[in-house]
C-alpha cells in the first residue's frame, strides 16, 4: 500500500522547476517523483492492494513514433489507480470525447490540484462507465472492469 505524505503538496509550477522535468526517466522513478507533488490518483481513486497506483502517459507512447518525442517524462505523466487506468483505456476505445476531456483534466489538475473538479470528473467517469455498458467488480485481488450482464 502506498503511504501518502501528510505535508502540503505543491503544484505544477514547482515540479516544472526540476531540471529533469522534460527528461526521460524510468517509470518507477517517474511515479515516485510525481507522488512527491500529487497525493495519489488524479481521478480520486482509492489506492490499495486491489488498485495499485500506475503512471499514465498523458500523450500516449504510440505517438512517440510519429512525433519523435521522448514521452517517459514528468511533463507527460499522470497518476492513476490500475482501475482508473483501465477506465481511461476503455474511453480511448469507446468514447474518444470523454478520453480527450480526461486528458485535458489531467493537465488542468497538475496545474491547480482542484479537488472539487476532480470529484465532478470522477462522478462523470463513473456514470459514463455504466452508460457504456460496463461495471466495476471487486474480485479477490483486484477491481475489474467488466461488461454488464
Q: Helices (DSSP H) in the chain: which residue ranges?
A: 12-16, 27-37, 64-67, 82-94, 96-112, 115-131
Burial status of residue 34 (CB atoms within 10 A of its CB: 0-12, 13-18, 19 or more) = buried
Q: Residue 10 pLDDT more than 60?
A: no
Q: What is the pLDDT of residues 82-126, one digit of tens each?
A: 999 999 999 999 999 999 999 999 999 988 889 999 999 999 999
- For the chain, give the mean pLDDT: 84
Amino acid at each position: 500500500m502506498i503511504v501518502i505524505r501528510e505535508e502540503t503538496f505543491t503544484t505544477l509550477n514547482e515540479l516544472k522547476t526540476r531540471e529533469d522535468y522534460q527528461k526521460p526517466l524510468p517509470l518507477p522513478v517517474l511515479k515516485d517523483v510525481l507522488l512527491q507533488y500529487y497525493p495519489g490518483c488524479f481521478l480520486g481513486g482509492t489506492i490499495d492492494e486491489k488498485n495499485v497506483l500506475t503512471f499514465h502517459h498523458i500523450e500516449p507512447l504510440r505517438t512517440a513514433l510519429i512525433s519523435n518525442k521522448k514521452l517517459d517524462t514528468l511533463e507527460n505523466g499522470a497518476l492513476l489507480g490500475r482501475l482508473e487506468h483501465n477506465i481511461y483505456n476503455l474511453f480511448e476505445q469507446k468514447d474518444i470525447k470523454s478520453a480527450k476531456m480526461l486528458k485535458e483534466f489531467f493537465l488542468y489538475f497538475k496545474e491547480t490540484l482542484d479537488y472539487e473538479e476532480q470529484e465532478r470528473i470522477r462522478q462523470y467517469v463513473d456514470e459514463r462507465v455504466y452508460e457504456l455498458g460496463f461495471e466495476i467488480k471487486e474480485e479477490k485481488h483486484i477491481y475489474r472492469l467488466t461488461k454488464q450482464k
